[in-house]
Structure 1
Amino acid sequence: MIESNLAGGSEGDHKRILEQHAAYLLANSRFDVDMLEGIWSASPEATFFNLNGHTYVGKNQWRRLWKFYVDKLETGEWVPYDMGGVVSGDVAVVWCHRKTTVRWIGSGPGPENLRLDDDYVSRSTMVFRREDDDWRVVHVHFSEASDASRPGGV
């Protein structure tokens, strides 16, 4: 399992949350909607901010997105690093950077709002909530990391 720096919660919580995080990265690399069932919350308030810049509300919208992408978009392994987070009661937040490559294999041009055919780093924040004695994702926010100089040299 990847090294992480989670604060709060129990070792059992950390283990399961990190298992769910790793399962999501694997499912995402395959656009495996069946695997997503055990990871994403079915709660209607679950909201997901995708790397493509769009917002998806509810697990079914995310499933529809993956069904669209499955034969059009190919990703490499999503390799997390700089993992951290907090666990408090029935809520946990996990953040990390992720390395990957995304390639358009569909017919015609790929979406304008995705970085394609290039290795890059994205940032991930995932919010987990304990539901029925397991940890489920109720919110994500993915964005591309910048490789430009930091303002003010910070």
Structure 2
Amino acid sequence: MSDAKIVGGSDADIKKLLQLHEDYLVANGKFDWPAIEPIWSKEPHATFFNLNGHTYNGAEHWSRLWAFYIKNVKGSYWTPYDIGGEIRGDMAVIWCHRNSQRNWVGTTAQPPRDIHYQGQEFVSRSTMVFHKEKGEWRVVHAHFSVGDSGERPGGV
């Protein structure tokens, strides 16, 4: 992540935010809720938009999605590129594109939206908004999206 283009903030804040971003990516690949819980804000107004098109209000709501996915999806590491962001005071945003693949392994449930569950590689976009809670950076909003198969940045 040394090629990340982050504007503003101290070197310590940049390092910490990029580490939290990486920690999220590792946890996400395994649907490891104990690893993500300290990254996600506990504020009740925290809101997360997921690839499935649903909105999750609060970390506890998001945790139920992961409880569903850990039983039904074999994930992988979501390799980031084009990482950018901005830090201003107690707020920061980190964005990137991500390459990934996953497989639906559930036998009693169906995907909430039929997007990229057959092991094919796909590109998604991630925007994570952080704020400081008791001096620690936490994700208060995340927006994940996916385009058409094979989409690459810079298209017209």
Normalised by the length of structure 2, the TM-score is 0.91
Name the CA distance, whole Å, in 2 between partners of 1:144 and 1:86: 22
Partner of 1:33: 33
Name the CA distance, whole Å, in 2 between partners of 1:25 and 1:13: 18
Runs of 5+ in structure 2 lacking a partner? none
Partner of 1:91: 91
Name the CA distance, whole Å, in 2 between partners of 1:149 and 1:72: 28
Write the letter of the residue equivalent to 1:116: Y
- Judging changes above 3 Å, is the alpha-carbon distance between structure 1 residues 41 and 148 closer, same or farther for their aligned structure 2 residues? closer
Name the CA distance, whole Å, in 2 between partners of 1:31 and 1:149: 26
Write the letter of the residue equivalent to 1:14: I
Write the letter of the residue equivalent to 1:44: P
Partner of 1:15: 15
Q: Which runs of 4+ in 1 moved over 6 A?
A: none
Q: CA RMSD in A?
A: 1.8
Partner of 1:101: 101
CA drift at 1:3: 2.5
Write the letter of the residue equivalent to 2:136: D
Partner of 1:46: 46
Name the CA distance, whole Å, in 2 between partners of 1:16 and 1:149: 28
CA drift at 1:112: 5.4
Name the CA distance, whole Å, in 2 between partners of 1:28 and 1:149: 22
Partner of 1:123: 125
- Judging changes above 3 Å, is the alpha-carbon distance between structure 1 residues 17 and 108 closer, same or farther for their aligned structure 2 residues? same
